Structure 1
């Protein structure tokens, strides 16, 4: 497909060609006609698939002239860095000198930003909190907004930005809404549902063409931390299968907490790697854990963790996903003579973007396992007395945070009928042969 088939203006095609874009990405080919037609869309795709360029082109096509009395496009992004990146992308592709574009973030002076807006602007790229603050000071007129764009929407939810996004969306009487995100999940749906109008969902996947050779991986999708704990308790009850296990969490404090919560802290075979307190049951060396037969479970924090030799450990659990995907990849990509390993990951909605980055890197989807029978799936809510202390806005925000996980798409569902015990046994023939 050529750039001309996107039905862009000649100046935009010229700018794209000059910037090195010779053909459109899949997400642009599938969504541009809908954007130009004024439809609401939800575009889902991995990092680097062209989401930002897509809405930059769409906004520049729909806002063809400048010097209106109020902004006509409001684009919300999660950070100052993203503000600067998106403004740079607009400046790279915009050949119309009359269109005025400014970036708004928390590091700038608010009065100066208000003056810039009231002096005249056509496109605003902003972080939600600062845009909301300026709106509340009557410095942002949303009456002329034609396009409302939320970029990196899953990251917005993870960072708790739902309230300012919804307030800004609700301040606009009628406009086109464009949502761009790496993943869709129930919490994100809850944020955008009040203002979206029959949106079209467009999803693209760009996995690495070369598949990495990995150990067996299984993914459990659960709604919250407490359900993760219940799931780990339930699985580890099978001492025959899970006879030697390393559980990874992100901080040493979480490791201590988990050691006390597992089996109500009464298990004599659960230990912490380099515990915070001298009187806690733990090991300072992974080799010592391997050699002690009575030690079955070792909880390890990713925080300031040197490289560990996991050779001989048949099961590794990622109770929490590390922020850097490379840490995870180093544990699941097969190395010479490291034996049979099953890598089991627990993820909530907020961790799904990291899962997508991992899948993109290894060139394959991680198999989703069915939640076992008997698992207690918990919803975490504040008590009535706590809620009385919140403002109505805070209560509404809390409702966005308390979400049950949504039904998976058919393409994401489990592809085999093997239970975790069966799968483990097949990968441990030397034990059960």
Structure 2
């Protein structure tokens, strides 16, 4: 197996860029993927985030493209989110800095004028989200005739986000003769389906059991009764300020993310904390991520929009304030820490309504998450009535998923009340007819109607 990047027989420009970026030893996915890609094979790579898989496909593509040529793209990299697309483009620029190869990234959320202008200047490697690629292709701004490499990164997220139709449309407009690379952290049924349409006799590369978190990540789980206690626990953990050097807090919804941001902003000030989610403008999100990367901001509160494609070194802690409902997102969330051989802590808060998802996550990652008691200094709040009701409803719904015959606590209570109720006197069907009530009150009712019928 290659012991250094020199063993891959990459050209000197690429090797110098790798050295400048501070990389010395290839990661397992790079060891296994680079040589087969260089030899022209289709690849299906299964690897968790933070393992260096972007470099695993970028380096051999740079080597095979060699130098700038023409104005149309020769390599197409499809990514599910704009954050991931931007991260891939940043990696390409890092490794291609001593070559004349040109890269352009296109994604939604911004007007297309600037992106169209960049494409017209000429491009060798095009990084794109599916929707924006199709928009610009259909408008005649992208010529796919010369594409010889196609990469689908984070294929599982692509399927989760409903891009399977867009991917099939893209496959219809790119040349059939090309080299295909697919990378995913998990292998769902949809990923298997798209890989069958996309890859030809692929070499399967799996650096660890699929969906297994990196070994450098220390995981912990706290069972917390309610939202207010979660906030108390978060506040307690943040008292260990020296240990928490750089933190990402993941939330299920935009509302919760905003509430946590305001809660932390009061304590630490706006300079220490930022929040990113789908309602934030693209420029705001980019600025927040850059400030976090550069160390200007210590705490980033985010929804799952940022769990993939956020490549930040030295993230010491990840806190799952909410357990993700899409269980595969757990691996991607905690993969923001413990990157590139560094250690990190991933802490999860679990309410009674979220225990179901934790059990499914543990089956997915094939390991139990160590459970810790809530520290003594944390005040455990009483669960408000409305929150208690919502938790009970969620638990009932989860039980129905596993057992379709399960009727739920509410149904059982209702059935019990019906069983104890007094029998109701049966009424004849004609009582429901129009005029039935008036007949009882007025004996003249029928006589009047008989006269009317005779007149007719």
Output the TM-score relative to the length of structure 2: 0.50
Which of 118, 136, 145 is the equivalent residue of 1:134? 136
- Tell me the equivalent position of 1:195: 198
Cα offset for 1:164? 1.6
Cα offset for 1:328? 7.2
- Tell me the equivalent position of 1:207: 214
Cα offset for 1:161? 1.3
Are the structure 2 counterparts of residues 361 and 100 from structure 1 closer, same or farther at C-alpha, using a change threshold of 3 Å? farther
- Tell me the equivalent position of 2:275: none
- Tell me the equivalent position of 1:4: 6
Are the structure 2 counterparts of residues 127 and 361 from structure 1 closer, same or farther at C-alpha, using a change threshold of 3 Å? farther
- After TM superposition, the structure 1 = structure 2 runs for residues 160-171 of structure 1, keeping only pairs within 5 Å, are 160-171=162-173
8 Å contact from structure 1 (residues 207, 360) kept in 2:
no
Query: Please, which moves more after superposition, 203-212 or 19-28?
Result: 203-212
- Tell me the equivalent position of 2:179: 176
Cα offset for 1:111? 3.9
Are the structure 2 counterparts of residues 105 and 33 from structure 1 closer, same or farther at C-alpha, using a change threshold of 3 Å? same
Which of 343, 348, 352 is the equivalent residue of 1:329? 348
Matched, 1:108 2:115: no
Name the SS of the counterpart of 2:166 in structure 1. helix
Name the SS of the counterpart of 1:116 in structure 2. helix
Cα offset for 1:7? 2.2
Are the structure 2 counterparts of residues 193 and 128 from structure 1 closer, same or farther at C-alpha, using a change threshold of 3 Å? same
Name the SS of the counterpart of 1:160 in structure 2. coil
Name the SS of the counterpart of 1:180 in structure 2. strand
Are the structure 2 counterparts of residues 140 and 198 from structure 1 closer, same or farther at C-alpha, using a change threshold of 3 Å? same
Q: CA RMSD in A?
A: 4.1
Cα offset for 1:190? 1.5
Name the SS of the counterpart of 1:149 in structure 2. strand
- Tell me the equivalent position of 1:57: 59
Which of 81, 86, 90 is the equivalent residue of 1:84? 86
| Count of residues in Structure 1 that have an aligned counterpart in Structure 2 | 262
8 Å contact from structure 1 (residues 71, 141) kept in 2:
yes
8 Å contact from structure 1 (residues 128, 161) kept in 2:
yes
8 Å contact from structure 1 (residues 67, 98) kept in 2:
no
**Greater C-alpha radius of gyration:** 2
Q: Could you list the runs of 5+ residues in structure 1 that have no partner in the other structure?
A: 216-249, 252-302, 304-317, 333-342, 363-374, 379-433
Mapped partners of 2:84, 2:368: distance in 1 = 21
Name the SS of the counterpart of 2:76 in structure 1. strand
Cα offset for 1:57? 0.6
Cα offset for 1:115? 3.6
Mapped partners of 2:42, 2:369: distance in 1 = 30
- After TM superposition, the structure 1 = structure 2 runs for residues 258-407 of structure 1, keeping only pairs within 5 Å, are 320=325, 329-331=348-350, 345=357, 355-356=364-365
Matched, 1:19 2:21: yes
Name the SS of the counterpart of 1:74 in structure 2. strand
Mapped partners of 1:116, 1:36: distance in 2 = 28
Name the SS of the counterpart of 1:329 in structure 2. strand
Name the SS of the counterpart of 1:194 in structure 2. helix
Query: Please, which moves more after superposition, 114-123 or 178-187?
Result: 114-123
Output the TM-score relative to the length of structure 1: 0.52
Mapped partners of 1:347, 1:134: distance in 2 = 43
Mapped partners of 1:61, 1:69: distance in 2 = 19
Query: Please, which moves more after superposition, 318-327 or 79-88?
Result: 318-327
Cα offset for 1:187? 1.0
- Tell me the equivalent position of 2:284: none
Are the structure 2 counterparts of residues 319 and 108 from structure 1 closer, same or farther at C-alpha, using a change threshold of 3 Å? closer
Are the structure 2 counterparts of residues 69 and 361 from structure 1 closer, same or farther at C-alpha, using a change threshold of 3 Å? farther
* Higher normalized helix content (fraction of residues): 2
Name the SS of the counterpart of 2:198 in structure 1. coil
